[in-house]
C-alpha cells in the first residue's frame, strides 16, 4: 500500500505543474485572439475613448505577465475573480453549470460504462460470431459519425417523428430527479453512442488477450463454464487496460460535452465556455479550462490507482 500512496503523492505534485501549464496556455491563447472584451462588450458604441476608459477600468492596460500573475495570486487565494463581461462572480457563474455538466456526464456514464463492459464481455464470449460482428459494426458506426449528427438524428426520430422526448434539454432546479432525467435523455444517449464503442472494443480485446493464457486453459480443464471463466478468471486480469479506457472516456464525457450542450441548449459548463471565449472573458475561460484540466488529471490518477489495486502483485506490501 505504501508505494500506492507514494505514487499518488508524486502524481498530485505533477498534476499541479500540469494545471499551471494549462493556465499559462489558456492565457496566451486568449491573448492571441483578435479583439478583447472591451471591444466586444461595447460593440457599436466602441469609440477609441470609451474602449480606452473601459480597458483601464478592467485593468486590461497592464502588461500581460502582470495580469497573469495578479490573476494567479487571487486564484491561489480562492478568489476566482469576476466576469469581465458582466461583472458577476466567476464562482457564481460556474458553480451550478458545472453541476449540470456533471449531472449530464454522470447520466451518460451510468448508461455507457455498464453497457460497454457487458457488450465487451458478450463479444468476447461469442467471439467472431454474428453477434460479435453486429455489435462491433454498430458501435463503430456510431463513433464514426460526428456528435452533432447523432444528436440531430436522435432529435429527428424521438422528438420530431414520435414526439416522445424533448429536443431542448433545458432543465431547471425546480424539476424532480425523474423529470430531469427525462429531459436530458437525448443528450445523454448521444454521449453514450459516442463513448461506448471505444470502451466496448477495449474490454473485448483485453479479455480475448487474457483468454490465451495458460490459466484460462486450466480453468477450462477444471470443467468450469465459459461465462464464469470470462467473468471470474479473465476479467480481473483484464481490468487494468479497461479501467484506463473508461477513465479516458469519462474525462471526455465531462470535457467533450460542449457540442452536445450547444445542440440541446443545455445549461452546462460547455455552453458557458463557448460564450466566454467569444466574449474574450478571460477569468471565466480560465476557471472553466482549469476545471476541465483538473477533471482530466483526477480521472487519470484514479484510473492508475484502481488498476494498481486490481493487481495483487502491486496491491500488497512486503
Partner 1 sequence: MDKLLEIKDLYIEAWSEERWQTIVNGISLELNRGEVLGLIGESGAGKSTIGLAAMGYTRQGCRLTSGSIKLDGRELFGASQKYLRSIRGTRIAYVAQSAAASFNPSHRVIRQYTEAPVLKGLMSQKEAEQKAVEIYHRLFLPNPEKIGYRYPHELSGGQLQRAMVAMAMSCQPDVIVFDEPTTALDVTTQIEVLAAIKEITETMNKAALYITHDLAVVAQVAHRIMVLRYGDMVELGETREMLKNPKEQYTRDLLSVRTLREEKAETEKEKIILEVKDVEATYTGREKVLQDINVTVRRGRTVALVGESGSGKSTLAKVITGLLPAIKGTITFLGKELHPELRKRDKENLRKMQMIYQMPDTALNPRHRVRTVIGRPLKFYFGMKGQEAEDRIKELLDKIELTPEKYIDRLTTELSGGEKQRICIARALAAEPELIICDEVTSALDQLVAEGILALLQDLQNELHVSYLFITHDLATVKAISDKIVIMLEGRIVEQGGKQEILAPPHHEYTDKLLASVPEMDPDWLDSLLAERASSFI
Beta-ladder partners of 75: none
Single residue of 237, 244, 300, 307 touching partner 1 by CB under 8 A: 237
31 or 217: CB nearest partner 1: 217
Single residue of 97, 180, 233, 280 touching partner 1 by CB under 8 A: 233
Single residue of 143, 224, 294, 309 touching partner 1 by CB under 8 A: 224
213 in contact with partner 1 (CB under 8 A): yes
Single residue of 160, 215, 265, 278 touching partner 1 by CB under 8 A: 215
Q: Least Å distance between CB 129 and partner 1?
A: 16
73 or 225: CB nearest partner 1: 225
**Rounded Cα distance, 190 and 19, in Å:** 29
The piece of 115-123, 153-161, 215-223, 252-260 that touches partner 1 (CB under 8 A) is 215-223
**Buried (b) or exposed (e) across 221-234, using 16+ Cβ within 10 A?**
eeeeeeeebbeebb
34 three-state secondary structure: coil
Query: What separation, in Å, do the N-terminal and C-terminal C-alpha atoms of the chain show?
Result: 9
Q: Least Å distance between CB 115 and partner 1?
A: 24
64 in contact with partner 1 (CB under 8 A): no
128 in contact with partner 1 (CB under 8 A): no
Find all residues with CB under 8 Å of 96, minimum gap 6, and list them.
173
56 or 228: CB nearest partner 1: 228
Q: Least Å distance between CB 231 and partner 1?
A: 12
Total residues contacting partner 1 (rule CB under 8 A)? 22
**Rounded Cα distance, 241 and 132, in Å:** 20
CB neighbours of residue 55 within 10 Å: 16
Beta-ladder partners of 89: 82
The piece of 64-72, 143-151, 187-195, 217-225 that touches partner 1 (CB under 8 A) is 217-225
219 in contact with partner 1 (CB under 8 A): yes
**Rounded Cα distance, 280 and 271, in Å:** 14
Find all residues with CB under 8 Å of 207, minimum gap 6, and list them.
120, 121, 124, 230, 234, 235, 238
| Pick from 112, 101, 138: nearest CA to 246 | 112
Beta-ladder partners of 82: 89
203 or 271: CB nearest partner 1: 203
Find all residues with CB under 8 Å of 23, minimum gap 6, and list them.
72, 75, 286, 289, 290
Single residue of 25, 236, 265, 278 touching partner 1 by CB under 8 A: 236
Single residue of 220, 262, 294, 306 touching partner 1 by CB under 8 A: 220
221 in contact with partner 1 (CB under 8 A): yes
117 or 263: CB nearest partner 1: 117
The piece of 12-20, 158-166, 171-179, 213-221 that touches partner 1 (CB under 8 A) is 213-221
| Pick from 29, 80, 101, 95: nearest CA to 251 | 101
Q: Least Å distance between CB 20 and partner 1?
A: 33
CB 184 within 8 A of CB 110: no
Single residue of 24, 33, 99, 218 touching partner 1 by CB under 8 A: 218
Integer-rounded Cα Rg, in Å, for the chain is 24
- Which residues bind to partner 1, rule: CB under 8 A? 213-215, 217-225, 228, 232-233, 236-237, 310-313, 316
Amino acid at each position: 500500500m505504501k508505494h500506492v500512496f507514494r505514487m499518488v503523492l508524486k502524481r498530485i505534485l505533477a498534476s499541479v505543474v500540469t494545471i499551471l501549464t494549462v493556465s499559462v496556455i489558456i492565457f496566451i491563447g486568449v491573448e492571441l485572439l483578435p479583439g478583447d472584451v472591451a471591444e466586444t462588450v461595447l460593440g457599436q458604441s466602441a469609440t477609441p475613448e470609451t474602449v480606452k476608459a473601459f480597458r483601464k477600468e478592467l485593468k486590461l492596460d497592464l502588461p500581460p505577465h502582470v495580469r497573469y500573475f495578479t490573476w494567479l495570486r487571487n486564484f491561489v487565494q480562492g478568489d476566482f475573480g469576476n466576469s469581465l463581461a458582466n461583472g458577476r462572480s466567476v464562482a457564481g457563474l460556474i458553480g451550478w453549470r458545472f453541476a449540470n455538466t456533471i449531472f449530464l456526464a454522470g447520466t451518460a456514464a451510468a448508461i455507457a460504462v455498464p453497457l460497454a463492459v457487458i457488450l465487451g464481455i458478450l463479444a468476447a464470449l461469442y467471439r467472431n460470431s454474428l453477434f460479435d460482428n453486429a455489435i462491433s459494426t454498430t458501435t463503430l458506426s456510431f463513433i464514426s459519425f460526428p456528435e452533432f449528427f447523432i444528436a440531430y438524428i436522435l432529435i429527428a426520430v424521438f422528438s420530431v417523428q414520435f414526439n416522445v422526448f424533448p429536443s431542448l434539454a433545458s432543465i431547471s432546479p425546480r424539476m424532480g430527479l425523474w423529470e430531469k432525467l427525462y429531459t436530458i435523455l437525448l443528450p445523454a444517449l448521444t454521449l453514450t453512442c459516442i463513448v461506448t464503442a471505444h470502451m466496448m472494443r477495449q474490454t473485448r480485446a483485453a479479455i480475448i488477450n487474457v483468454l490465451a493464457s495458460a490459466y484460462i486453459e486450466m480453468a477450462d480443464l477444471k470443467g468450469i463454464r465459459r461465462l464464469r471463466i470470462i467473468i471470474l478468471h479473465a476479467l480481473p486480469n483484464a481490468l487494468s487496460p479497461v479501467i484506463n479506457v473508461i477513465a479516458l472516456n469519462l474525462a471526455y464525457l465531462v470535457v467533450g460535452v460542449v457540442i452536445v450542450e450547444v445542440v440541446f441548449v443545455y445549461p452546462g459548463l460547455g455552453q458557458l465556455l463557448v460564450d466566454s471565449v467569444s466574449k474574450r472573458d478571460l477569468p471565466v475561460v480560465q476557471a472553466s479550462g482549469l476545471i476541465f484540466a483538473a477533471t482530466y488529471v483526477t480521472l487519470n490518477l484514479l484510473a492508475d490507482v484502481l488498476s494498481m489495486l486490481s493487481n495483487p502483485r502491486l496491491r500488497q506490501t512486503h
